[in-house]
Structure 1
């Protein structure tokens, strides 16, 4: 048995539990990403997760749990760190443009090498603070990045008029809902059941407010 086989089985089980089906070539590229992350992590301390099997659950499966909500052709992942959830999403779904944003130089060096090694030609890296980034994206993801108010204040200008912002949270963020800026509305909040992860996960879906009547309160 190859060293990769247990990781492949864990990833396959996670995808099945999420009712996701990915080509074998995509599964292999996702595991290639884990291999890169393990090697670089030893020197660059990119993630606190050290065990490759835990990386499959906490990084790959956790990221891919939002795949059904990641619509559109242009994706920006803000505060991406080592590429989460941006790289797993870009490997699992065809995008015309993917922008990975992080201000940490050692992480962006890893990101550039990962994109090159994984052949993600449609993806690029911005070593920048979020508020300095320009562009317009159909889907924006942010994982453990900031409060809803702060992330929208800093990066709301990047969301296309009909775009969708996916804020990835742990517990239901009740205390953050009232802080959503006036130009945006929380459209929905979904609990994510991530197989193998003993922790709460939610995705907060935010869109631009079309008019005053679009306001609403999302209840748990």
Structure 2
């Protein structure tokens, strides 16, 4: 796989520059995940190529959306997705990674140290125990929209946004229906991500 050409395509699409140092960190992060995964299961990806394409590239497709937001918390960060790829590119923004499982949180601390990511903070707690407020709440493959909305309402500010990575539009519509969202209270946007062979979307929820 030509990692650099993949990243160049992303930067061209989102109009955000990914310099060589950031590209190297993204590749190093992919290697860290797969090496750690040999002993502790933190991803279903079996090799660096799969993890890079199906996870890192997937996260970076939303770069343009995150460019306007700061003080971002990633709920159920797991292996660090989407927050570590975003934190590498946006090294001037603050990211909080919330992960309740100790072994996954240990990996996040390792990645922070190895990649010298001074703009991230790791919280090894249940998401419902968070007391601080954030202007941007994001999540990828953590839970359904109903559960995310409960967390969002607990830790949001007046102008906060929930940015959720999701898959097929049919599943999104089902989750939105089950969440029973009051249209008079929230604004909902669904943006399709441009990736081959997969149906991927971003759901953005904010107060009206």
- Compute the TM-score of the two structures, normalised by the length of structure 1: 0.84
1:53-202 equivalences under 5 Å are 53-70=49-66, 71-172=68-169, 173-178=172-177, 179-182=179-182, 185-194=186-195, 197-202=196-201
Structural RMSD (CA)? 2.0
Residue 46 of structure 1 corresponds to which residue in structure 2?
42
Q: How many residues align?
A: 203
Which secondary structure state, in structure 1, belongs to the residue aligned with residue 2 of structure 2? helix
Q: After superposing the two structures, state which structure 1 stretch, 97-106 or 79-88, moved more.
A: 97-106
CA distance in 1, matches of 2:191, 2:207: 18
Preserved CA contact (<8 Å) 2:30 2:52: yes
Cα deviation 1:157-215 (Å, max 9, x = unaligned): 22221122101110111112232544951431111112xx4211010111123xxxxxx
CA distance in 2, matches of 1:148, 1:95: 29
Which secondary structure state, in structure 2, belongs to the residue aligned with residue 198 of structure 1? coil
Preserved CA contact (<8 Å) 2:96 2:123: yes
Residue 212 of structure 1 corresponds to which residue in structure 2?
none
Cα deviation 1:137-156 (Å, max 9, x = unaligned): 22111112111111111343
CA distance in 2, matches of 1:157, 1:144: 20
CA distance in 1, matches of 2:13, 2:92: 24
Listed as ranges, the gaps of 5+ residues in structure 2 are: none
Preserved CA contact (<8 Å) 1:153 1:181: no
Listed as ranges, the gaps of 5+ residues in structure 1 are: 210-220
Preserved CA contact (<8 Å) 1:14 1:57: no
